[in-house]
């Protein structure tokens, strides 16, 4: 007999226009149905209990716009109900090409997801560390998880451009993100430390807040343009952001504006002692050697560090290239002012 599928979404998955082979059998008190073409197994038993397992999502990839959009082409997922009623439970194991999460210093390339589906939305847990909850807003919360910025950028870059409203005029996705004891990781050696991160997106506008120690960074993004301001960021934060820059005490402020592809930025550091900032180290060592040779005095910079009253750097970001356009340094030992066009290639993976 012919199998009629009325739900358009399920019909798309089954490929009903061409038809699929379904094997149906009885297993004790359960009905067992298999669709080999999709690696799908469905069981149904007493009291309305049922389960559906896709053993290999690669078989489903070409039929699922969601899997195609997020580049999920392997893994498995099981959905079940003990009585045929919601909430439905689900679990999934997905190897993922975008390792956006970092846990215990290791990139997470295998997502373990479990949760429930209700009439109003869903909730789930990812690798026992990141919680998802969706009703009218997608709420994401985490603790002790770091976020891989190059992977996130690659994921967003590979997404299609979506409108904020659908064809019915309904507003687009609203997002709420909260992270505790986290950091934004740019490379293996560069990260922005965070006690807390808050991010909210709705109506085409995104606002964010990063808090670390006494300092904070505020972000605003709308219509493709962003602005960012940071104040009172301490030496621990600077050490993470400046490749372990070896700053003792002091505070940093910053400002940036532009688009994700072209932006200008200004960094200022006040009242610190610079111990081992490698891009500056060789220049300062040479400059400090000259008076030492003349006066026969010891070189104190290499042992005690360079006291810095103020240091300001101006940069321009264009795609994956950062250009240092200006630099000034004021110290009881030396004053420097420089204008240059030093190009730095930024990491993309």
Phi, then psi, of 161 in degrees rounded to 5 = -75, 120
As a whole number, mean pLDDT of residues 192-208 equals 93
pLDDT of residue 243: 65
| Interatomic CA distance for residues 61 and 63, integer angstroms | 5
**pLDDT value at residue 342:** 53
Q: Is 292 left (phi over 0), alpha (psi -120 to 50) or beta?
A: alpha
CA distance 80 to 196: 36
Average pLDDT over residues 28-57: 90
33 or 347: which leads in pLDDT: 33
- Token pair belonging to 340: 């240059």
Report pLDDT digits (tens) over 4-38.
444 444 445 555 455 678 888 887 788 999 998 88
Please tell me the number of Cα atoms within 13 Å of 48 on its side-chain side. 6
Cis peptide before 87 (omega within 30 of 0): yes
Highest mean pLDDT out of 1-10, 105-114, 235-244: 105-114
* Predicted confidence band of residue 292 (pLDDT cuts 50, 70, 90): very low
> Which residue, among 155, 95, 104, 93, has the nearest Cα to 129 in the 3D structure?
104
Radius of gyration of the chain (CA): 27
320 within 8 A of 348, measured Cβ to Cβ: yes
- By residue count, the chain amounts to 349
CB 133 within 8 A of CB 143: no
Q: Quick one: pLDDT at residue 3?
A: 45
Average pLDDT, stretch 183-190?
88
Mean pLDDT (the chain) is 80
Higher pLDDT among residues 261 and 344, named by residue: 261
Q: Which of 349, 332, 322, 52 is nearest to 340 (CA)?
A: 322
pLDDT given at position 88: 95
Which of the pair, 75 or 309, is modelled with greater confidence? 75
Residue found under tokens 């007999």:
1
Q: Which residue, among 195, 265, 269, has the nearest Cα to 229 in the 3D structure?
A: 265
């Amino acid at each position: 007999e012919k199998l009629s599928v009325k739900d358009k979404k399920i019909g798309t998955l089954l490929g009903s226009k061409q038809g699929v082979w379904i094997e149906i059998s009885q297993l004790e008190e359960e009905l067992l149905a298999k669709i080999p073409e999709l690696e799908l197994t469905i069981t149904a038993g007493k009291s309305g209990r049922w389960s559906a397992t896709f053993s290999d999502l690669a078989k489903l990839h070409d039929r699922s716009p969601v899997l195609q959009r997020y580049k999920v082409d392997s893994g498995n997922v099981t959905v079940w109900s003990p009585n045929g009623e919601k909430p439905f439970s689900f679990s999934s194991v997905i190897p993922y090409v975008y390792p956006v999460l970092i846990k215990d210093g290791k990139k997470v390339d295998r997502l373990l997801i479990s949760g429930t589906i209700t009439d109003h939305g869903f909730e789930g847990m990812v690798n026992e560390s990141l919680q998802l909850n969706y009703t009218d807003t997608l709420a994401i919360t985490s603790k002790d998880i770091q976020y891989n910025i190059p992977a996130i950028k690659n994921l967003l870059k590979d997404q299609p451009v979506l409108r904020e409203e659908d064809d019915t005029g309904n507003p687009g996705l609203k997002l709420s993100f909260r992270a505790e004891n986290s950091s934004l990781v740019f490379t293996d050696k560069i990260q922005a430390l965070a006690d807390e991160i808050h991010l909210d997106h709705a109506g085409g506008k995104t606002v964010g807040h990063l808090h670390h120690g006494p300092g904070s960074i505020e972000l605003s993004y709308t219509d493709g343009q962003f602005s960012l301001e940071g104040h009172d960021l301490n030496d621990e934060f600077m050490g993470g952001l400046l490749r372990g820059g070896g700053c003792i005490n002091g505070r940093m402020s910053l400002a940036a504006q532009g688009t994700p592809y072209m932006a200008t930025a200004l960094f200022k550091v006040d009242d610190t002692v610079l111990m081992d900032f490698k891009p500056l180290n060789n220049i300062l060592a040479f400059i400090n050697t000259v008076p030492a040779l003349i006066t026969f005095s010891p070189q104190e910079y290499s042992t005690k560090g360079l006291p810095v009253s103020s240091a300001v750097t101006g940069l321009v970001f264009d795609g994956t290239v950062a250009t240092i356009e200006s630099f000034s340094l004021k110290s009881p030992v030396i004053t420097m002012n420089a204008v240059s066009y030093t190009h730095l290639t930024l990491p993309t993976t």
